[in-house]
Structure 1
Amino acid sequence: MRSGADRVLVVGGGHNGLVASILAARTGARVTLLEAADHLGGASVGSRVFAGHPVRLSRYSYLVSLMPQQLIDELGIDLTLLSRDVSSYTPYRRDGVPGGLLVERKPGPATSASFRALTGSDREFQAWQQFYAECAQMARVLAPALSGPMRTRSQVREAVVAAAGPQLWTDIFETPLGVGITRRFDDDLVRGVVATDGLIGTHTSLFDESLLANRCFLYHLIGRGTGEWLVPMGGMGAVAEALTARAVEVGVQIVTGARVVSAGEDTDGVRAATADGRDFAADVLLAAVAPMTVQQWLGRPAARPVGAQLKINMLLDRLPRLASGVDPAVAFAGTTHLEEGFDQLEAAYRDSAAGRISSPLPGEVYCHSLTDPSILNGHSGATLTLFGLHTPDALFREDPETARAQAAEAALAALQLHLAEPLTDCLARDANGRLCLDVASPLDVEASVGMPGGNIFHGDLSWPWLDDEVDPTPAQRFGTQVPGCTKILLAGAGTVRGGGVSGLGGAAAVDTLRAGRPTG
């Protein structure tokens, strides 16, 4: 390792911290990994959530899109990723008649017919095909730019325009996402289905000039060069377990129950102190935690990120029947969009910005166990995972218990609107006779896995490039810089290209070390 970093301290034992630890150890460094919890895996851990049932759920994270196969191979882990035949299903009612918009993973006649039934023509499906063909071209050229040294904005623009055309560049990178969507599509429901990829985990209007929704949309569409979201066999816990086993195998010293409360650096290296009075020293520190947490270690003020998603895990004895009559095994195999028309999404944002929880709450749900029955461990039913949108952490701070219950009721109401039977008739019960519903607000995510504000991206997502005028340091070139530091690097989702379950943040930190001693 040309940086001379013989001793590497990694703080944070989620998937990014494990990735950083493995890659650093493989360079020959002596690696110590500190984790505040009594176990590794962070938000990717699998657990038996419901008493009396052997089902293993990932409480917070669910699918894999952004982790490149090249990184999986470099880590040397055995990870099986499965495709879903259905991309999405969106139930609706028009003139009181239930229906559903089906989008296959590879759209064919069934998808075409579904669009025609919704809109009465082929125009929306043609617009859909055109838009996502352009997005696919963008994904092919941008996915490689998520690893290695960052390209400049001009280089990214040149590649995207050459592959997908100038209009897509404008729609994704220069004007609010809502502008491009409403220009390309006429139907409110179709517009909403497109828009949701710009909102998961993000609290913003589709017309906000900050383009936060655009950045979220981008990362949802470019993973692995295809944008396809894959199901890890064994659940997300299988990812954490594979990484943990590999870290042990390559000699990483793992210390759990070590919550870092301060850190600093000097000419001799770095040091970190834990809440129970222990001190750790190394040549460099790779921080696989939120940037706000690093600033707190350093005694600096930092703004708290906004988390904005409600998560509900369910265990069912059987999947519920839908009012549209579609096979539940089709409707829930991909992403099932609930009350996510374009206007509904904007109205829910306005409600949340005004301090209210929309009801019914827009959200989406899917069934992991349809693609990967192994997580059931013999249970004969099914799992459902629901994400409610526009539920910022501020809504839960005054009265967390009441707000959580209200948000869960509003989210489940969006599902019940499209069912042909009561959801409660299908839910399993745990060993204590309670319905198998596990509800987590952003505050619960913060308390459980240490993500400030419950923000699953550790902060606002960044564009995956360098500004053209920057003469970058190694840390800037890989998106890992902590301002004012030379030996402490970001290594988590808060790196410039680290959002999502990707491992890219941990890999970027080690790439920085390989490139040379980072400078602030």
Structure 2
Amino acid sequence: MTHAEHDVVIVGGGHNGLVAAAYLASAGRSVLLLERDDHVGGAAVSAPAFVGVDARLSRYSYLVSLLPQRISDELGLDIRLVRRRFSSYTPDPADTSRGLLVDNADPEATRESFAAIGAEADAASWTDFYATTARMARAIFPTLTEPLPTREEARRMVGDDEAWTAFVERPLGQTIKARFDDDLVRGVVATDGLIGTFAALDDPTLDANRCFLYHVIGGGTGDWDVPIGGMGAVSGELERAARKAGARIVTGADVLSVTPDGEVRYVRDGVEQIAHGAWVLANVAPVVLERMLDAGADDLDTRARSAPALLDQRDRTGAGDHDRRWSSRPRVQRAAVWRPADAAEGAQVKVNLMLTRLPRLRDTSVSPEAAFGGTFHINERYGQLERAYEQAAGGEIPDVIPCEVYCHSLSDPSILSPELAASGAQTLTVFALHVPDRLMDTGDEDDLRARLQAAVLASLDSVLAEPIADVVMLDANGEPCIETKTTRDIERAIGMPGGSIFHGPLSWPFLEDDEPSDTPADRWGVATAHPRILICGSGARRGGAVSGIGGHNAAMAVLESD
């Protein structure tokens, strides 16, 4: 068994781990990054999804908003993003021959679209509402790569007590219903509070509010952009930066356990190895870190029982800290991280498709290119969202599943081979809401996946002028190019407990006024119960989405502490 010493050991090679590795190695620290898979990137990867189809799809995450330009500049990243002209298109489920098209480049056309669905009175409210979220974005987004402000400091930064109350202190549903009259418009606004979050819009826990806030502050504008080359291009640049800085990246390394004093045990090529870090950065979900800590405690207890004489001798002879830890370290505490680990639950099904062309719409006033050029909302009236939540909370698959649809290839055809692009082929990503992980316990998993896929495609068909099956491409084996990933599939593939894309509940981007801020780890929002172990992934405060913020902030906490 080999044993190696490092300044920093990073567990998990997702994009946040790569960010942390690049910063710390650039600062002269010896960095070892361990990744279970045979490649890095975690959820931010691109890969062929269908046999014989030359297209590299963003398999899990797909859009970029929260990645600060500061991180790109400081790490010298060449990441290209494309801004979508159309914000969204939403067919009216009550009359699918009409819909709401929000055109970022043509405010007048957007106002006319509001009028066409009978929501003319909401057009001005829409403009005022998003002007308010833009002001909050400009105030809050720059703080995400700085030590956490307190709640009161953040409120003063926003400088608008009415807006603060509306988005931070009052349930999101109440704010939306007070601002908008039309149920369709209300639903379009509400979806940003529900992507990846299973919550009622009027829930006093404000889970939807936190999700909404992160969705509207990205980049200081709230825009969600398409990464040229797919998400794999983002992780590829981060890997290049980390390796260039001198970080050692080891793939195929399955971490078995972690101890509070920095021992990390892992298996690679069937050989168990030990790495020891002055710091351990956990780019895994809090519940996964907790399991690793428990495994470390159990392993140390087993060694202590099997070699008491050796341990006694070490204690008597005054052995160094590395040896004494076996006999003196207290058993690892449960709930080892600052956020409840047992609350991790995803709430989505993701369906990737390859199409021979875009499908026709029932609304002939909007071209498919415009409708799919932004976020295509399906069956997301406010009432439909609440009905779907109630059914799912009751243990049932919703009768009508609300969906968000994205077409990466319209904005970035580089993910397709030249032949596919020339043929008119397009990718489609469907993200279904209110499908919590708990539903996977209600029956056979394969049967549930098939039922969920059928429900998602039926939801899509409900607003199209032709069945989606008519334009789905066939792979080299003659099978439809449809890939469905449930929360359980996501958990198995990339280690997100319960399929939670945020690694658990999101946190406010500030400290409560009475919360401790004594250590750099506290101030940067990356602390655990163990001083030498930091959270550096989506489970960090201000984590979630493809942002690199968790990795940046953990690196800053290490550098400030050393």
TM-score of the pair, normalised by structure 1: 0.95
- Mapped partners of 1:453, 1:72: distance in 2: 31
Using the TM superposition, give the Cα deviation of residue 282 of structure 1 relative to its aligned residue in structure 2, in angstroms. 1.4
User: Equivalent residue of 2:8, what SS?
Assistant: strand
Partner letter of residue 372 of structure 1?
D
Q: Does 1:388 align with 2:410?
A: no
| Contact residue 15 and residue 44 of structure 2 kept, 8 A | yes
- After TM superposition, the structure 1 = structure 2 runs for residues 269-288 of structure 1, keeping only pairs within 5 Å, are 270-275=262-267, 276=270, 277-288=272-283
- Mapped partners of 2:360, 2:515: distance in 1: 56
Aligned counterpart, 1:502: 547
Using the TM superposition, give the Cα deviation of residue 30 of structure 1 relative to its aligned residue in structure 2, in angstroms. 0.7
Aligned counterpart, 1:322: 361
Aligned counterpart, 2:521: 475
- Mapped partners of 1:467, 1:358: distance in 2: 36
Aligned counterpart, 1:426: 471
Q: Identity of paired residues, percent?
A: 49
- CA, structure 1 residues 392+106, in 2 after alignment: closer, same or farther (shift >3 Å)? same
Q: Does 1:50 align with 2:53?
A: no
CA offset digits 1:383-414 (Å, max 9, x no partner)? 00000000111111342111111111111111
- Mapped partners of 1:414, 1:422: distance in 2: 11
CA offset digits 1:319-349 (Å, max 9, x no partner)? 0000001210000010000000001000000
Aligned counterpart, 1:137: 135
- After TM superposition, the structure 1 = structure 2 runs for residues 83-232 of structure 1, keeping only pairs within 5 Å, are 83-94=83-94, 96=95, 98-106=97-105, 108-119=107-118, 121=120, 123-160=121-158, 162=159, 165-232=160-227
- After TM superposition, the structure 1 = structure 2 runs for residues 252-401 of structure 1, keeping only pairs within 5 Å, are 252-266=247-261, 270-275=262-267, 276=270, 277-299=272-294, 300=334, 302-303=341-342, 305-325=344-364, 326-378=366-418, 379=420, 380=423, 381-397=425-441, 398-401=443-446
Q: Does 1:234 align with 2:229?
A: yes
Partner letter of residue 253 of structure 2?
A
User: Equivalent residue of 1:359, what SS?
Assistant: coil
| Contact residue 6 and residue 28 of structure 1 kept, 8 A | no
Using the TM superposition, give the Cα deviation of residue 6 of structure 1 relative to its aligned residue in structure 2, in angstroms. 6.4
Q: 4+ runs of 1 displaced by more than 3 Å?
A: none
Partner letter of residue 376 of structure 2?
T
Aligned counterpart, 2:312: none
| Contact residue 304 and residue 453 of structure 1 kept, 8 A | no
- CA, structure 1 residues 480+99, in 2 after alignment: closer, same or farther (shift >3 Å)? same
- Mapped partners of 1:7, 1:52: distance in 2: 44
Using the TM superposition, give the Cα deviation of residue 120 of structure 1 relative to its aligned residue in structure 2, in angstroms. 5.3
- Mapped partners of 1:359, 1:97: distance in 2: 18
In structure 1, stretches of 5+ residues that fail to align are none
CA offset digits 1:241-260 (Å, max 9, x no partner)? 11112222222111111121
User: Equivalent residue of 2:547, what SS?
Assistant: coil
| Contact residue 12 and residue 289 of structure 1 kept, 8 A | yes
| Contact residue 43 and residue 59 of structure 1 kept, 8 A | yes
| Contact residue 17 and residue 33 of structure 1 kept, 8 A | yes
User: Equivalent residue of 1:119, what SS?
Assistant: coil
- Mapped partners of 1:107, 1:310: distance in 2: 33
Of 493, 497, 506, 1:461 maps to: 506
- Mapped partners of 1:97, 1:447: distance in 2: 38
Partner letter of residue 79 of structure 1?
I
CA offset digits 1:477-496 (Å, max 9, x no partner)? 0000012x011100000000
Which has the higher Rg, Structure 1 or Structure 2?
A: 2
| Contact residue 315 and residue 436 of structure 1 kept, 8 A | yes
Aligned counterpart, 1:246: 241
Deviates more, 1:341-350 or 1:392-401: 392-401
Using the TM superposition, give the Cα deviation of residue 107 of structure 1 relative to its aligned residue in structure 2, in angstroms. 5.0
CA offset digits 1:201-238 (Å, max 9, x no partner)? 00010011100000000000001100100111000010
- Mapped partners of 2:507, 2:132: distance in 1: 21
| Contact residue 6 and residue 275 of structure 2 kept, 8 A | no
| Contact residue 304 and residue 452 of structure 1 kept, 8 A | no
Aligned counterpart, 2:25: 25
- CA, structure 1 residues 303+120, in 2 after alignment: closer, same or farther (shift >3 Å)? closer
Aligned counterpart, 2:328: none
Q: CA RMSD in A?
A: 1.3
- Mapped partners of 2:11, 2:433: distance in 1: 30
Aligned counterpart, 2:326: none
| Contact residue 25 and residue 252 of structure 1 kept, 8 A | yes
Using the TM superposition, give the Cα deviation of residue 471 of structure 1 relative to its aligned residue in structure 2, in angstroms. 3.9
Q: Does 1:407 align with 2:407?
A: no
CA offset digits 1:103-148 (Å, max 9, x no partner)? 1124511100000111253x20001001000000010000011111
CA offset digits 1:167-211 (Å, max 9, x no partner)? 221111011100000011000000000000000000010011100
- Mapped partners of 2:520, 2:104: distance in 1: 39
- Number of aligned residues: 504
User: Equivalent residue of 2:201, what SS?
Assistant: coil
TM-score of the pair, normalised by structure 2: 0.88
- After TM superposition, the structure 1 = structure 2 runs for residues 46-85 of structure 1, keeping only pairs within 5 Å, are 46-85=46-85
- Mapped partners of 1:501, 1:513: distance in 2: 22
CA offset digits 1:22-60 (Å, max 9, x no partner)? 111000001100001111111111100011111000111
Aligned counterpart, 2:303: none
Partner letter of residue 308 of structure 1?
A
